[in-house]
């Protein structure tokens, strides 16, 4: 099968799969029944994604399609393509033809406006491959109380695959940034939820300094293979460490601006944090907000899964997980099995490159049979650590990063 035929087959699978979410089984809930060693009645499981080429992710929304990766599926050092979360803002575009012919326009505050095909990007600029975090700005939203608006992510709106592309900085240098260039504005080909193609479903931007950072790339490959349509092919931005809404899929334009971008997704409470702490559940003041940029420090225990039952006589639990922070490496991850009374350090592996998550491992003692909670708390190189509960409540639910907890039961 040729590349264009493969591309069209991928397009058909995505367009077919978007409407094929189904209810599936899940791990039983962990609570009093589990603590007592009894099995509760079979619960209604989360809605699971049914799409060719994708794992059975937990569906948080159908219109637009949003699906998060369960913690136990985040265990790979490099996130496999099938396990990478899905976050759309509009509809998946109906794209046909040779992906190398896809065009991206660079205009605005530049000396030489450009319109480059993906093929020209590949041949004209050095190709680079990095392992980079991609994380939804609302990751962790479900931990807020009271509930904030938006998809109720746990920790699964994040992944760390390998991306191949070109430095956005090289492209912007070729266009020649004017001294008036201070911000970008990003546009993709996805129609709005109403099917409109003459207006963007979302259009966010970033300061020029972040655009020129070496790990900010225009990507066209994912984990060494042609990028699937559902993840933004033929080309997308990858802006690591910052809110994933900046990593525009189906990229077709970057507008260089002389002021902060004001496209859809830049105003109101969208991707913004409150400057002055507000009472949880209150309306807040749009004028008293700041744009969400770097994502917060976070840890996720990926093995064992929450709710695991262990055999009688189990005295030690080998723990694994991932930790990351928006603009800093992880310095430490600490583990507690006594509700935070005491903490023991985990082993933290170095990142393969900046903006990649870091694996942590630990051996946890379980002195007797019974119910345990295992807590993980990451601290980054800037000294910022995870709180015990989600704080700094805001109407759209950004920045929730409480310590991660799993529950296990050792049989008697």
Does some domain include residue 194?
yes
Residue 32 lies in a domain: yes
- φ, ψ at 370 (rounded to 5°): 125, -165
Q: Is the pTM of this model over 0.85?
A: yes
Q: Which of 266, 291, 316 is the last residue of a domain?
A: 291
Please list, in sequence order, all residues whose beta carbon lies within 8 angstroms of the beta carbon of residue 299, skipping any fewer than 6 positions away.
321, 322, 323, 333, 360, 376, 377, 378, 386, 403, 404
Same domain, 128 and 238: yes
Same-domain status, 287 and 331:
no
Report which of 108, 100, 65 is spatially closest to residue 85, judged by C-alpha positions.
65
Do 161 and 276 belong together in one domain?
yes
Pair (132, 189) in one structural domain: yes
Complete DSSP assignment for 200-230: -S-----BHHHHTSTT-EEEEEETTEEPPGG
Which domain, by its residues, includes 38? Answer: 3-87
What are phi and psi for residue 34, nearest 5 degrees? -70, -40
240 and 131 within one domain: yes
Question: Are residues 338 and 402 located together in one domain of the fold?
Answer: yes
Contact predicate 256/184, CB 8 Å: yes
Token pair for residue 403? 């310590």
Side by side, which strands form the sheet with 330-336?
308-310, 404-410, 370-380, 330-336, 344-345
The total number of structural domains that make up the chain:
3
Q: Please give the structure tokens belonging to residue 368.
A: 């007797």
What are φ and ψ of residue 358, in 5° steps?
-125, 130
Could you tell me if residue 93 is inside a domain?
no
Q: Which of 105, 110, 103 is nearest to 254 (CA)?
A: 105
pLDDT of residue 44: 63
What 385-392 contacts at long range (C-beta under 8 Å, 24+ apart), as own/partner pairs, is 385/297, 386/296, 386/297, 386/298, 386/299, 388/340, 389/143, 390/140, 390/143, 390/144, 390/145, 392/273, 392/274, 392/277
User: Do the Cβ atoms of 103 and 122 come closer than 8 Å?
Assistant: no
> Could you tell me the CA-to-CA distances from 223 to 2, 163, 202 in Å, in that order?
20, 6, 26
Give yes or no for a contact between 38 and 131, defined as CB atoms under 8 angstroms apart: no
pLDDT at 10: 52
Within a domain: 94: no
Domain annotation covers residue 156: yes
In a domain, 28, yes or no: yes
Tokens of 261: 């971008």
For the chain, which residues score pLDDT lower than 50? Answer: 1, 4-6, 8-9, 12, 15-42
The pLDDT value recorded for residue 14 is: 53
- Residues 147, 274, single domain; the answer is yes
CATH of the domain at 277: 3.90.420.10
pLDDT at 15: 44
Residues 240 and 320 in one domain: no
Task: Specify whether the CB–CB gap between 130 and 353 falls below 8 A.
Answer: yes
Count the neighbouring beta carbons within 10 Å of the beta carbon of residue 288.
11
Q: Which residue, of 55, 87, 119, is where some domain finishes? A: 87
Instruction: Please indicate, yes or no, whether residues 206 and 260 belong to a single structural domain of this protein.
Output: yes
Kindly provide the b/e burial profile for residues 180-215, where b requires at least 16 CB atoms within 10 angstroms of the residue's own CB. ebbbbbbbbbbbbeeeeeeebbbbbbbebebbebeb
SS (H, E, C) 14-47: HHHHCCCCEECCCCCCCCHHHHCCCCCCCCCCCE
Residue 370 is assigned to a structural domain of this protein = yes
Q: What is the pLDDT of residue 41?
A: 46
Residues 278, 328 share a domain: no
- Whether residue 152 sits in one domain with residue 115: yes
DSSP 272: E
Q: Is 95 a member of any domain?
A: no
Q: What is the pLDDT of residue 46?
A: 82
Residue 407: name the closest of 377, 369, 364, 371 by CA.
371
Of the residues 291, 318, 353, which one is the last residue of a structural domain? 291
332/226 same-domain check: no
> Looking at residue 325, which CATH number applies to its domain?
2.60.40.650
Residues 221 and 53: their CA atoms lie apart, in Å, by: 15
pLDDT of residue 196: 96
> β-pairing, 289-291 with 272-274?
antiparallel
CB of 272 closer than 8 Å to CB of 149: no
């Amino acid at each position: 099968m040729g590349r264009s035929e493969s591309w069209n087959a991928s397009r058909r699978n995505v367009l077919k799969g978007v409407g094929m979410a189904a209810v599936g089984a899940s791990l039983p809930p962990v609570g009093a029944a589990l603590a007592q060693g009894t099995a509760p009645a079979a619960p209604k499981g989360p809605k699971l994604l049914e799409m060719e080429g994708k794992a059975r992710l937990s569906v948080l929304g159908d219109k637009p399609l949003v699906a998060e990766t369960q913690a136990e599926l985040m265990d790979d050092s490099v996130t496999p393509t099938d396990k990478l979360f899905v976050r759309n803002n509009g509809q998946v575009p109906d794209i046909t033809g040779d992906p190398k012919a896809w065009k991206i326009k660079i205009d605005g505050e530049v000396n030489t406006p450009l319109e480059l095909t993906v093929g020209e990007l590949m041949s004209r600029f050095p190709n680079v491959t990095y392992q980079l975090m991609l994380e939804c700005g609302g990751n962790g939203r479900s931990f807020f109380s009271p509930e904030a608006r938006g998809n109720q992510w746990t920790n699964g709106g994040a992944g760390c695959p390998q991306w191949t592309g070109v430095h956005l900085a090289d492209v912007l240098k070729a266009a020649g940034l004017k001294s008036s260039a201070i911000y970008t504005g990003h546009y993709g080909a996805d129609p709005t939820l109403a099917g409109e193609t003459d207006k963007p479903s979302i259009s966010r931007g970033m300061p020029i300094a972040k655009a020129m950072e070496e790990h900010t790339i225009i990507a066209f490959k994912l984990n060494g293979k042609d990028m699937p349509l559902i993840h933004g092919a033929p080309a997308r931005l990858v802006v690591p460490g910052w809110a994933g809404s900046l990593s525009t899929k189906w990229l077709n334009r970057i507008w260089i601006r002389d002021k902060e971008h004001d496209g859809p997704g830049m105003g109101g409470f969208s991707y913004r944090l409150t400057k002055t702490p507000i009472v949880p559940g209150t309306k807040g003041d749009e004028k008293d907000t700041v744009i969400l940029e770097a994502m917060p420090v976070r840890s996720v225990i990926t093995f064992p899964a929450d709710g695991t039952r262990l055999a009688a006589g189990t005295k030690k639990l080998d723990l694994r997980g991932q930790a990351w922070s928006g603009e800093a490496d992880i310095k430490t991850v600490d583990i507690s099995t006594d509700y935070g009374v005491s903490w023991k350090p985990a082993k933290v592996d170095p990142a393969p490159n900046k903006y990649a998550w870091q694996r942590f491992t630990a051996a946890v003692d379980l002195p007797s049979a019974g119910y345990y909670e295992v807590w993980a708390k990451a601290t980054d190189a800037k000294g910022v650590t995870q709180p015990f509960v989600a704080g700094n409540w805001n109407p759209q639910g950004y920045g929730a990063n409480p310590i991660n907890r799993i529950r296990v039961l050792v049989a008697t």
